[in-house]
Amino acid sequence: MSCSGYDFGRWHCNGYLLSLTLTLCSLQARRLTTITAKILHQISEIAAHEWDACNAARPYTPFLSHKFLNALEVSGSVSTATGWQPFHLVVEEDQHIIGVVPMYLKNHSQGEYVFDYGWADAWQRAGGNYYPKMQISVPFTPATGPRLLTKKPGAAHERLLLDAAMQVAEQVEVSSIHLTFMEQGQWQTAAEAGFLKRLDQQFHWHNGGYVDFDDFLSALASKKRKNIKRERRDALATGITIEWVTGAEINETHWDAFYRFYTDTGSRKYGSPYLTREFFSIAGQVMPEDILLIMAKREGRYIAGAINFIGQETLFGRNWGCIEDHPFLHFEVCYYQAIDFAINRGLKKVEAGAQGGHKIARGYLPQATYSAHWIADANFREAVSRFVDDERRYVTADIAHVEAHTPFKASTDLDQLRAFDLQTRPTNT
C-alpha cells in the first residue's frame, strides 16, 4: 500500500470550520490511520496539559504555554473584536493529539512585528482581498520559538500540521498564511512545503559563561567597557534604585505602576496599547514564576519598569515604559539589568525584543529571525517571492556588516559565543 500525500476531503461547517478527517497509510506500521484536524475558537476548548504536551520535548518557552495564550484571550487582548480571532489547529491521529498550532484569523497586520503592509496594499490595489489572513504566531510577541507544536519533534508531523493549515486556508478562502519568529528548522520544513522564506534580524545577548556582570564587561573592548560603566552610573545618578520583582512578590501595586508605564509609552509609539490591564493581573496569577518585573524607583515611587518572561534557557524582554525621563535609564532597566539577571539565573541568552540597532553597543549580537509565508494566488506569490529573495540577501549582508562593529574584543569568536555551553562553567544560583 502506498500514500500520495494528504487529502483532507470535505470540512464540516457550523458557522466557522470545525473539523476535517483523512484516512492515510502509515509507511512504518503499514496500516490505515485516521487523521483529524480541528479548529478551536478558544484555547480553553483544549485541556492545558494536552496543549502543553505538544511542546514538552523542547526547552520551555512561556509564550507558547496554554496559560499564557489563554490569558491573552480571557483578558480580551486577543479576540475577534481586536482583530485576532483564535483559530487554533489541533491534529489527531486515531483520536490521539499529535500536534497543535497557535493560529489566528486576522483582519489587519498589527501586533505582528513582521511587516506585510506593502503586500496588503499592493494586493488590494490590484483588486484582491488581502484580509482576512491566517497568522501562526504568538500575538504581540516577537520572540523566537516553534510554531508547529508536536509531541514527537521532527519534520514528518510538522509537515502534517502545515498541510492541515493550508487546507484550512483554502477552505476559508484567506489570502495567505504567515508563520513568524519561527525556529530555523521549521522554517526549512515550511519552505519544503511551498512556503516563501523571509529573513529579518534582532539583537540578542549571549551568555559566555560569565560569573557576573564585570566578567561580561571583561570580554569587551576597553572603550566599550568604559562607556557601559558610565551609562550605568549615570542612569542611577539621581537617586534611582532598581528592584527585581518575580514570583509571589508581584502584586497589584506593581501591575498598576507598570501598566501606567506601558500605556504611556505604548500610546506614543503605537497609538493604543495591545494588552489590557486585566491581562497582567491574570498572567501574574497563573504564571508568576515566569515573570520578572524590573522596576525603577525614585523618591519612594516607581517611575519606570520593564516586563520580562523567563524561559528555560532565555530571558525575554517584552515591554518597557516610564513616566520620568532620565539619561540611560532605558538601557539600564531593559538591557543591563536583564543581563545581570540572566547571568544570575544561568540563562543562555536575552532576547530584548524587536529592532534596536543601539543594542549592539550594549553587548547584544545580531541574530537572524525567520518567517514563512504561503500565498494563495500564484501571480501574487511570484511577486512576493522576488521581494523576499532580495530582502534575504540584504538582511544577510547587513548582519555580516553589523557583526564587524560589535563591542567585543577583536579576538572573540561570535559564533562560539552564540553556541557557548553553560555547563562548561559554574553559574550563580
Give the pLDDT confidence of 263-285 residue by residue, as tens digits.
987 555 555 789 999 999 999 99
What is the per-residue pLDDT for 16? Answer: 46
Same fold, 12-194 and 205-364+409-424: yes
Q: What's the CATH superfamily of 12-194?
A: Gcn5-related N-acetyltransferase (GNAT) (3.40.630.30)
User: What is the residue-wise DSSP string for 341-384?
Assistant: HHHHHT-SEEE--S--GGGGGGTPEEEEEEEEEEESSHHHHHHH
Residue in 124, 231, 242 with CA at minimum distance from that of residue 175: 124
What is the per-residue pLDDT for 5? Answer: 40
CA end-to-end distance (rounded Å), the chain: 56
Write out pLDDT tens, residues 327-336.
999 999 999 9
What predicted TM-score, i.e. pTM, was given to this entire model? 0.92
What is the per-residue pLDDT for 33? Answer: 74
Domain ranges for the chain, please list them. Answer: 12-194, 205-364+409-424
Question: In 67-195, where do the E strands start and end?
Answer: 84-86, 88-93, 96-101, 103-106, 133-136, 149-150, 176-182
Write out pLDDT tens, residues 71-130.
999 999 999 999 999 999 999 988 899 999 999 999 999 999 999 999 999 999 999 999
CA 246/CA 288 separation, integer angstroms: 7
In the numeric block, which cell numbers belong to residue 407? 563591542
CA 239/CA 248 separation, integer angstroms: 27
Question: In CATH, what is the architecture of 205-364+409-424?
Answer: 3-Layer(aba) Sandwich (3.40)
Report the mean per-residue pLDDT for the chain: 90
Residue in 372, 375, 355, 354 with CA at minimum distance from that of residue 122: 375
What is the per-residue pLDDT for 272? Answer: 74
What is the per-residue pLDDT for 270? Answer: 57
What is the per-residue pLDDT for 175? Answer: 97
